[in-house]
Amino acid sequence: MIPNWLLKRAALTPHAPALSFQGRTWSYLHLKEDALDRAGKLRSLGLESGSRIALLGGTSAEMAILIHGCLLAGIEMVMVNSRLSSEEIEYQLIDSETQLLVYEKAFRTKAEQQVCRNMVYDEFLQLEGESLQLEQMWEEDRTLTIMYTSGTTGFPKGVRQTAENHTSSALSAVLNSGLHDGDAWLHMMPLFHISGFSILARAVLYGSEVRLFDKFDAVRAAEEITNGRVSGMSVVAVTLERLLTVIENDGISVPPKFRTLLAGGGPVPISYLKRAEQCGLPVLQTYGMTETSSQTATLSAEDALRKPGSAGKPLFFTDIQIDGADEPFEKGEILIKGPHVTKGYIGKHTATQALQNGWLHSGDIGYFDDEGFLFVADRRSDLIISGGENIYPAEIEAVLVEHPQVLEAGVCAMPSDKWGAVPAAFVVTRSTVEEETLREFCQIRLASYKVPKTFHFVDELPRNASNKLMRKELRERLTMDY
Instruction: State how far the Cα of 95 lies from the Cα of 266, in Å rounded to an integer.
Output: 29
Instruction: State how far the Cα of 391 lies from the Cα of 407, in Å rounded to an integer.
Output: 22
Q: Is the pLDDT of residue 378 over 70?
A: no
Query: What is the pLDDT of the chain when averaged over all its residues?
Result: 92
Q: Average of pLDDT values for 111-139?
A: 93
Q: Is the pLDDT of residue 465 over 50?
A: no
DSSP per-residue codes, 179-246: --TT-EEEE-S-TTSHHHHHHHHHHHHHT-EEEE-SS--HHHHHHHHHTT--SEEEEEHHHHHHHHHH
Q: What is the pLDDT of residue 138?
A: 96
Confidence (pTM): 0.85
DSSP per-residue codes, 217-231: -HHHHHHHHHTT--S
**Residue pLDDT, tens place only, 350-369:** 999 999 999 999 988 889 99
The rounded Cα 37 to chain-centroid distance in angstroms is 28
Task: Compare 382 and 82 and report the one with higher pLDDT.
Answer: 82
pLDDT interval class at 186 (50, 70, 90): very high
Q: Is the pLDDT of residue 123 over 60?
A: yes
69, 74, 75, 81: CA torsion to nearest 10: 60
Answer yes or no: CATH 3.30.300.30 is held by domain 384-481.
yes
Whether the Cβ atoms of residue 59 and residue 190 lie closer than 8 Å to each other:
yes
Distance set, CA 343 to CA 293, 340, 355 (Å): 11, 9, 7
pLDDT interval class at 257 (50, 70, 90): very high
pLDDT interval class at 385 (50, 70, 90): confident
Fold classified for 172-378: Rossmann fold (3.40.50)
Q: Is the pLDDT of residue 397 over 90?
A: no
**Residue pLDDT, tens place only, 415-461:** 998 899 999 999 999 899 999 999 999 999 999 999 999 999 999 98
Closest CA to 148 of 87, 76, 96: 96
Give residue 293's region: left, alpha or beta (phi > 0; psi -120 to 50). left
Q: What is the pLDDT of residue 151?
A: 56
**Residue pLDDT, tens place only, 211-252:** 999 999 999 999 999 999 999 999 988 889 899 999 999 988
**Quick check: helix, strand or coil at residue 34?**
helix
DSSP alpha helix (H) spans, 61-139: 61-73, 86-96, 108-112, 121-125
Q: What is the pLDDT of residue 308?
A: 81
Q: What is the pLDDT of residue 467?
A: 52
**Residue pLDDT, tens place only, 158-168:** 999 999 999 99
Same CATH fold assignment for domains 2-138 and 172-378 = yes
Q: Is the pLDDT of residue 188 over 60?
A: yes
Instruction: State how far the Cα of 178 lies from the Cα of 208, in Å rounded to an integer.
Output: 12
Q: For the chain, state the CA radius of gyration.
A: 22
Closest CA to 55 of 9, 124, 154: 124
Q: What is the pLDDT of residue 180?
A: 92
CATH number of 2-138: 3.40.50.980
Sequence-separated (6 or more) residues with CB below 8 Å from residue 172: 295, 315, 316, 317, 318, 338, 340
Task: Compare 229 and 265 and report the one with higher pLDDT.
Answer: 229
> pLDDT above 90 covers what percent of the chain?
75
Q: What is the pLDDT of residue 89?
A: 94
Instruction: State how far the Cα of 107 lies from the Cα of 46, in Å rounded to an integer.
Output: 24
Q: Is the pLDDT of residue 153 over 60?
A: no
Closest CA to 233 of 199, 202, 204: 199
> pLDDT above 70 covers what percent of the chain?
97
- Structure letter (DSSP) for residue 135: P
pLDDT interval class at 468 (50, 70, 90): low
Query: Largest alpha-carbon pair distance within the chain?
Result: 68
Instruction: State how far the Cα of 205 lies from the Cα of 5, in Å rounded to an integer.
Output: 6
Q: Is the pLDDT of residue 16 over 50?
A: yes
Q: Average of pLDDT values for 129-143?
A: 93
Q: Average of pLDDT values for 88-97?
A: 95
Q: What is the pLDDT of residue 466?
A: 45
Break the chain into its structural domains and give their ranges. Answer: 2-138, 172-378, 384-481
Write down how long the chain is: 482
